[in-house]
Amino acid sequence: MATLVSSGMRDGLREHRRKLTRPRQAILEIIAAADHHLTPAEIHKRARKKYPHLGLVTVYRTLDLLTEYGYVQRVHFSDGCHSYIATGQGHAHHLVCSNCGRAEEFEDCDLAPLIASLQRKTGYEINVHMLELMGRCPDCSSRSPRGVTQIRRTVPPRNHK
């Protein structure tokens, strides 16, 4: 598994004359192994366990690189902070559980009709979109139907700043 990550990534990086370093491996492995989105700080903390030397700056740089090459995706939050999540195949958006942080991916094309209709109505050439959806996942919904008791919170509730 770690091998898959590494070999797939090595090839991808080679095409761009980029190197597969231990820090980069550590970071991608953390993200690939996570079951939900992670902040740069959290990624740093986790990756340090495997590679204690790792600096936060490298995490940021690596996340930029991985995002650019499509290995991970940025998740935007309304407070302006970002989290990162491994990329599935060809998907582009996430529906994140506001309680446990679990994320479902959905396809870009679900948004296509809306964009097409708006382009027609407004005359804009729409080329960038950012969509984030949040809500309670089925598990969290059934565990606390009133939204009061929160049984397993795996995501920092508030400012992950």
Q: Which helix (H) or strand (E) holds 103?
A: strand 103-106
- CB under 8 Å to 68, separation ≥6 — which residues? none
Residue 36 CA to residue 75 CA, distance in Å, equals: 11
Does position 138 interact with its own copies (CB under 8 A)? The reply is: yes
Does position 5 interact with its own copies (CB under 8 A)? The reply is: no
Indicate the residue among 49 and 76 with the shorter CB distance to its own copies: 76
Residues 54-93 that bind its own copies (CB under 8 A): 74, 76, 78, 80-82
CB count within 10 Å of CB 20 equals 16
CB count within 10 Å of CB 25 equals 19
Contact indicator for 36, 86 with CB cutoff of 8 Å: no
Instruction: Look at the block and give the residue holding tokens 């204690």.
Output: 52
- Pattern 100-129, its own copies, x by CB under 8 A: ----x-x---xx-xxx-xxx-xxxxxxxxx
Does position 159 interact with its own copies (CB under 8 A)? The reply is: no
- Using CB distances below 5 to 8 A depending on partner kind, what does residue 21 bind out of its own copies, DNA, none? DNA
Contact indicator for 106, 93 with CB cutoff of 8 Å: yes
Q: Which of 56, 98, 150, 160 lies at the binding interface for its own copies (CB under 8 A)?
A: 98
Indicate the residue among 35 and 110 with the shorter CB distance to its own copies: 110
Residues that bind its own copies (CB under 8 A): 74, 76, 78, 80-82, 95, 97-98, 104, 106, 110-111, 113-115, 117-119, 121-138, 141
